[in-house]
Chain A
Amino acid sequence: MRDEATFKVKAGLAEMLKGGVIMDVIDQEQARIAEAAGACAVMALERVPSDIRRDGGVARMSDPEMIQSIQEAVTIPVMAKARIGHFAEAQVLEALEVDYIDESEVLTPADEANHIDKWPFKVPFVCGATNLGEALRRIGEGAAMIRSKGEAGTGDIVEAVRHLRTINGEIKRLGGLSEAEIATAAKEHAAPLELVRAVAVSGRLPVVMFCAGGIATPADASLVMQLGAEGVFVGSGIFKSADPEARGAAIVEATTHYEVPERVLRASAGLGAAMDSIESRKLEESELLSNRGW
């Protein structure tokens, strides 16, 4: 009578990650450091976003052997990225039994029109979103967790803030709408009507929403948590900094105590240099990762 891979157990794992920090790692050593720093999950990938940005070229799913070595190194959940629309990469990651698949704009999109149909998969998916319509379209396709996109690999928090404020503002504005207005809002957001209605009634997304893209400091984590994120992804911010052990633990501490300035203060002190950063407004349109996906 066992019912595996229901939407409840997919979305339920994201519930278990709440209040936590998911860290990008490229090898076993980083995975162990992340786990010891208090990460609630790791994202296994060959190159962190700042390196993908620097190297250029097509960014693909990581070598399964590398992902497997990280699965062997830690007991916390291991996530991995597939290209947008690349359902065959997702099938490989499912065969590998990763715990979550990130259909990610950080990799080069494989399909210019379609995201992956995520419903047939047993492994849950997390997807990026810059606004409410995009989040609900992904959930409509079967995503069990959403992350605001931000601008990965920059160390600049401004895009993450914009995306969080946009999503939460749009959720707020659905409150109190009549049924007729909800139908119009669904059209405007280009999102499934039943999901728009559910958000209008509950005042929140039907799945957990983390923040990603640009978090580099404990105060960044506190900021996005206060803006309504339920946890954070940190990509380049930890292992591209001077002291990943200390910075990782500090961002974990600040995520737990995000409402207590004294604790964020304590977590912020003496961490050494943050990652090298790029002001995202200085990037060319074609260099923006957050524009990928629709």
Chain B
Amino acid sequence: MPPPGAAGDPITVGVLALQGDFEAHGLVLSRLGAVVREVRVPTDLDGLDGLVLPGGESTTMTLGIERERLADPLRAFHASGKPIFGTCAGLIMLDREHLGIIDIRAERNAFGRQVRSFEAPLEIGVSGGPVEAVFIRAPWIAEHGPTVEILAEVEGHGVAAREGAVIVVAFHPELGDDDRVHELFLQSVRDARAAA
């Protein structure tokens, strides 16, 4: 495994920790060698190399972002070129109708209620074959702009996408042992830091 930091200095990744499965993301990122910091207030963003918006309840997170006045600091973090990775509710938070950080429109609970939640192997363009994707009351990408690259689809709907330094997936790579999607994100964090 290559050292996570470009110059041997470990990279520091924040995980938005207002509500949701931030702990699961933290475990994967630590396992991959990153220093992890939970983010609850704007000053927690200082000095981070990248940021994860986890799964959880998007309504709860939206209200939390309002309460903590995090929206503008999160947009500034993105504008500074730092990579951001959103999973499930995190994908929703980043869309046009929420933080406006990636040019997509998410359809919430698009697959239906919990009884429709599912696992499926999904090819998203990482080496080593499909990832085992866990979809829980998941959204899909209903619309997207021309600069957004759709990385994977389920039944004709985008469930993973990339635009610049922003990666979003509708499923939960943090819930399994397969770290390849997080590795893809960490690679973009390393690249961004090397370029800075």
By a CB distance below 8 angstroms, the chain B residues around A76 are: 57, 59-60
Docked-complex contact A9 and B136, CB < 8 angstroms: yes
Q: Which of B105-147 contact A (CB under 8 A)?
A: 108-109, 112-121, 134-137
By a CB distance below 8 angstroms, the chain A residues around B172 are: 12, 15
By a CB distance below 8 angstroms, the chain A residues around B108 are: 75
Docked-complex contact A18 and B120, CB < 8 angstroms: no
Tell me whether A54 is interfacial, beta carbon within 8 Å. Answer: no
Q: Determine how close the nearest CB of chain A comes to the CB of B116; give it in whole angstroms.
A: 7
Tell me whether A245 is interfacial, beta carbon within 8 Å. Answer: no
Q: Determine how close the nearest CB of chain B comes to the CB of A71; give it in whole angstroms.
A: 8
- Which of A35-43, A150-158, A170-178, A192-200 interfaces with chain B? A35-43
- Which of A93-101, A108-116, A220-228 interfaces with chain B? A93-101
Docked-complex contact A257 and B134, CB < 8 angstroms: no
A1-B121, A76-B60 known; A97+B67 contact, CB < 8 A:
no
Docked-complex contact A38 and B63, CB < 8 angstroms: yes
By a CB distance below 8 angstroms, the chain A residues around B17 are: 19, 256
Docked-complex contact A15 and B21, CB < 8 angstroms: yes
Docked-complex contact A15 and B115, CB < 8 angstroms: no
Tell me whether B18 is interfacial, beta carbon within 8 Å. Answer: yes
Docked-complex contact B118 and A9, CB < 8 angstroms: yes
A12-B136, A252-B60 known; A18+B23 contact, CB < 8 A:
yes
| C-alpha spacing A226/B63, complex, angstroms | 23
A side interface size, CB within 8 A:
40
Docked-complex contact A75 and B56, CB < 8 angstroms: no
Q: What are the interface flags for A115-128 relative to B under an 8 Å C-beta threshold, 1 for contact and 0 otherwise?
A: 00000001110000
Q: Determine how close the nearest CB of chain A comes to the CB of B70; give it in whole angstroms.
A: 12
Tell me whether B34 is interfacial, beta carbon within 8 Å. Answer: no
By a CB distance below 8 angstroms, the chain B residues around A246 are: none
Q: What are the interface flags for B44-74 relative to A under an 8 Å C-beta threshold, 1 for contact and 0 otherwise?
A: 0000000000011101100110010000000
Tell me whether B168 is interfacial, beta carbon within 8 Å. Answer: no
User: Which of A12, A38, A77 has the largest count of B CB atoms less than 10 A from its CB?
Assistant: A12
Q: Which residue of B lies closest to A78 (CB)?
A: B113
By a CB distance below 8 angstroms, the chain B residues around A3 are: 118-120
User: Which of A38, A94, A100 has the largest count of B CB atoms less than 10 A from its CB?
Assistant: A38
| C-alpha spacing A249/B66, complex, angstroms | 12
By a CB distance below 8 angstroms, the chain B residues around A123 are: 114-115
Docked-complex contact B117 and A5, CB < 8 angstroms: yes
| C-alpha spacing A12/B24, complex, angstroms | 11
Tell me whether B89 is interfacial, beta carbon within 8 Å. Answer: yes
By a CB distance below 8 angstroms, the chain A residues around B104 are: none
Q: How large is the interface on B (under 10, 10 to 19, 20 to 34, 35 or more residues)?
A: 35 or more
Docked-complex contact B19 and A9, CB < 8 angstroms: no
Docked-complex contact B134 and A94, CB < 8 angstroms: no
Docked-complex contact B64 and A8, CB < 8 angstroms: no
The residue that B115 contacts in the complex, of A2, A12, A122, with Cβ under 8 A, is A122
Q: Which of B1-54 contact A (CB under 8 A)?
A: 17-24, 40
Docked-complex contact A77 and B20, CB < 8 angstroms: no
Q: Determine how close the nearest CB of chain B comes to the CB of A36; give it in whole angstroms.
A: 8
By a CB distance below 8 angstroms, the chain B residues around A2 are: 118-120
By a CB distance below 8 angstroms, the chain A residues around B24 are: 15
Q: Which of A17-57 contact B (CB under 8 A)?
A: 17-20, 35-41
25 A/B residue pairs, CB under 8 Å, sorted by A: A1-B120, A3-B118, A3-B119, A9-B114, A9-B117, A9-B136, A13-B117, A15-B172, A16-B20, A16-B21, A16-B88, A16-B89, A17-B56, A18-B23, A35-B59, A38-B19, A38-B63, A38-B67, A76-B57, A77-B137, A99-B114, A249-B63, A256-B17, A256-B18, A256-B40
20 additional contacts, CB 8 Å, given A2-B118, A19-B18, A122-B115?
Answer: A3-B119, A5-B115, A5-B117, A5-B118, A6-B118, A8-B175, A10-B117, A13-B117, A13-B137, A16-B88, A16-B89, A18-B22, A19-B19, A38-B67, A76-B60, A94-B115, A97-B112, A124-B114, A256-B18, A257-B40
Chain B interface residues toward A at CB < 8 A:
17-24, 40, 55-57, 59-60, 63-64, 67, 88-89, 108-109, 112-121, 134-137, 172, 175-176
Instruction: Report the 9 A-B pairs with minimum CB-CB distance, sorted nearest first.
Output: A99-B114, A9-B117, A15-B21, A40-B57, A38-B63, A19-B19, A4-B118, A2-B118, A20-B19
